[in-house]
Amino acid sequence: MNQSLENILAVHAPRLQRIARQYAGSNDWQDLYQEMTLSIWRGLDGFAGRSSLATWVYRVAVNTALQHVRKKQLPTMEWTSEPIGVTGPSDPMHILDAFLRQLDPVNRAVLLLDLEGLDRHQVGDVLGMSAGAVAVRMTLLRARY
């Protein structure tokens, strides 16, 4: 597969930025986005096509975000994100952002990837778990809300 980083970012940048905003504070989401971009660029030659390019990009982005969280060693309750267009506590984006902040990094990734439109198998491929495990996590997440 002969994809350039420029082409990948043209398609996936908004998704990568949303992931970065959820895993990094409002002051350093851009740094995390750059880390994701660098990780994608470094791994691009090794992309073997065993999954779709989109799934591989998500996998690299989420793994980079999870490493970022581990490096920072931030407790879940202290995580902040940069909500976009939030108008107040009753705004759906504000409610979603508050819910996401309560989740551990893996459940946050499961929900974010689901919201991006990935099916259970794709989410499982990205996170290295079975589609059944993803379905169980989604059921538990729905029960929490």
| Per-residue 3-state assignment (H helix, E strand, C coil) for 116-132 | CCCCHHHHHHHHCCCHH
Q: What is the pLDDT of residue 76?
A: 47
- pLDDT range class, residue 78, cuts 50, 70, 90: very low
DSSP class of residue 90?
A: T
The total of structural domains in the chain comes to 1
Range of the domain at 140: 5-144
- Looking at the predicted structure, is the pLDDT value of residue 141 above 60? yes
The residue with tokens 């931030």 is: 74
Place of tokens 């996170």: 127
Q: Does the pLDDT of residue 2 top 80, yes or no?
A: no
Which parts of the chain fold into alpha helices (H)?
Answer: 5-23, 29-43, 53-72, 92-102, 105-115, 120-127, 131-144
Q: The pTM is what?
A: 0.71
- CATH code of residue 25: 1.20.140.160
Please tell me the predicted confidence (pLDDT) of residue 65: 92
